[in-house]
Amino acid sequence: METARLTPREQATTRICQVSSFATELLEIRSKEPSLHVLLIAGNPGIAAFYKDCVEALYENLGGQASITAIGHISHSQKDCEHGRLFSLYEQIDHKVDFIEQELQHSEQPIVLVGHSIGAYIGLEVFKRLQNKIKFIVGLYPFLKMNKSSVTQSAIGYIARY
């Protein structure tokens, strides 16, 4: 049986910041006294707002002791459309590295990356570059490589070419 919530859940807020001169959509809850910072890297469709429930649940389940930030991908929402420009996977990785170096450079709390789907691959690449800043990485349904024997992945690859 599910128990009723006695207090309202802390609400995540959206903000747009400039990272490497690109508008970047963030969804975040800041702890007053954080013991760590969780950075959630979106999977597809790459929109931070998609992770609202996840960000709020993480904050709640970590007892309000962690700041939580979800970061979207450049040019994946109307708020950061960058005039229709397309960005490569490597540019998205660079963007997340730049975000950490810009926004979290003075953070004294350990940083934990949580990557969903392709965000897990991005997180792994970020971790390789920033091992001195990232303490842990978690992959949620990680998409780490192409499985050529997968009928579904082959179909998606075929469709994506056209």
The domain ranges of the chain are 13-160
Residues 6+ apart with CB under 8 A from 92: 46, 73, 74, 122
What six digits make up the tokens of 149? 């024997």
Residue 1 banded pLDDT, cuts 50, 70, 90: low
Determine how many CB atoms are found less than 10 A away from the CB of residue 87: 16
CA–CA separation, 3 and 64 (whole Å): 19
How far, CA to CA in Å, does 18 sit from each of 25, 80, 93? Answer: 9, 10, 16
Single pTM value for the model = 0.83
Is pLDDT larger for residue 90 or for residue 156?
Answer: 90
Is the pLDDT at 146 greater than 70? The verdict is: no
Q: So what's the pLDDT on residue 153?
A: 67
Residues 6+ apart with CB under 8 A from 144: 120, 121, 124
Annotation: CATH topology of 13-160: Rossmann fold (3.40.50)
What is the rounded average pLDDT of the residues 75-96? 80
